[in-house]
Amino acid sequence: MKIAIIGAGQFGTALGNSLTINKNNAVCLFSTDYFKVDEINNKNKNTKVFPNTFLSDKLYASSDLSKLKDFDIIFIAIPSSSIGEFFENNKMFISDGTLIVNLAKGLISKEINIVDYVKQVLPNCDVITLKGPTFASELIHGSNSIFTLGYSKRENHKSIIEIIKGTNVFIDTTTDITGVEVLSVLKNIYAILVGYTDAKYNSANTRFLVLTKSFNEIIVLLKSLGGDESTINLSCGFGDLGLTSLNDLSRNRTLGLLMGKGFYSDSDNSVVLEGKKSLDMILDIVPDKVINRLPLLKVVKKAFLDKTGIIDIDFEDLVIQREKVILTYGTFDLLHYGHLEILRRAKSYGTKLIVGLSTDEFNLEKGKTCIHSYEKRKELLESLSYVHKVIPEKNWNQKIDNVKKYNIDVFVMGDDWKGEFDFLKDYCDVDYLPRTKGISTTQLKRILKKD
């Protein structure tokens, strides 16, 4: 298999070296640094990143990006901030059908992750992701290491299995590409926090209290950003959080340690910028109502916004978190992706989501005809992990009574109802969520009728 790795930094070099263990792989590192290319090809070394390490003589390098068209698989091992420029300048050299594997950790912008961006630029290529609890400095010396492969097609999975065969690289797998991408950012924020905790309190008890609560907050954020909760259990989740939070080779943990010892400086060094960039990106894309449920994220945010570097944890507030109940209403006939999205986002606002489901009798009053009966629609909703309880909606006037009866904290509806339920603001918070574009129950019924 002909494998190209974009970037001859620590991680690209270490992974490329490992993949050469499989004799069926021909691995080339691509770099614009002519010194690195010459040194790798003629001395089997890359002293800028591994000064005292000899590389496999099967690993070679090139600065001629036009040769990328000859490769079956291309790994992306450059900083996320450089990816846009790289693909805009070099997409013409990448053949249709090439498998692109993202190793970079981060997001392109608040609207898009790296995998989705590359799919837009290279619509005729398959794009997958590979993330895990792996330090390049150990991978290069043969340490057995694991990654999570986020993929969508079986043949992509088979290709990765083939190239890692017999090497020190292992994988676990998921089809939740979004979750894998998001977790690579979230763990950086909480690694800062755990490092700070270790420096300030020097207590194993307190460390694991904070780590446990960090884990819980990451799950809330993961679900809010469209990932699958179960992805946290893979190496890209639990494993990478543990590695980044608890090992002093981690840059983000080191930043936390410096902050905890009072050595924080709001300067433009790469460690501070990396941590702040992860935090700023998450704060920009996660709704305030979700952030307000996360006491650890809030105190890290305050430490950076105030430029003090002081993370002031209120442990009583952290541990004693009261339940927050969300309420929404709807007909939910022909349950589709738009329904799932609004339910997911509504649930992310609290700990429990109650759904008021229009009864068959009430639908007749409204002039609606449903494909499925109330009981069938109720059964479908109750099967969703987002939904805690389904209650019958029998009339227009029951909402105030329901808010009082179920101690509702936030009432949520789609933004096509904007302003209609503001009268509930005397009893709870009210929010209107944007509908998912391009899909509706009416549209689906029209298609079915046509067929």
Catalytic residues: 366, 368
Q: Report which of 33, 60, 30 is spatially closest to residue 45, judged by C-alpha positions.
A: 60
378: three-class secondary structure by DSSP: helix
Residue 72: count of CB within 10 angstroms of its CB: 16
Residue 250: count of CB within 10 angstroms of its CB: 21
Residue 44: count of CB within 10 angstroms of its CB: 16
Cα 234 vs. chain centroid, distance in angstroms?
Answer: 13
Residue 349: count of CB within 10 angstroms of its CB: 23
Residue 89: count of CB within 10 angstroms of its CB: 10
* Contact status, residue 421 vs residue 413, Cβ threshold 8 Å: yes
* Contact status, residue 76 vs residue 121, Cβ threshold 8 Å: no
* Contact status, residue 189 vs residue 278, Cβ threshold 8 Å: yes
DSSP output for 154-222? HHHHHHHHHHHTTSSEEEEEES-HHHHHHHHHHHHHHHHHHHHHHHHH--HHHHHHHHHHHHHHHHHHH
Cα distance between residue 159 and residue 406, in whole Å:
52
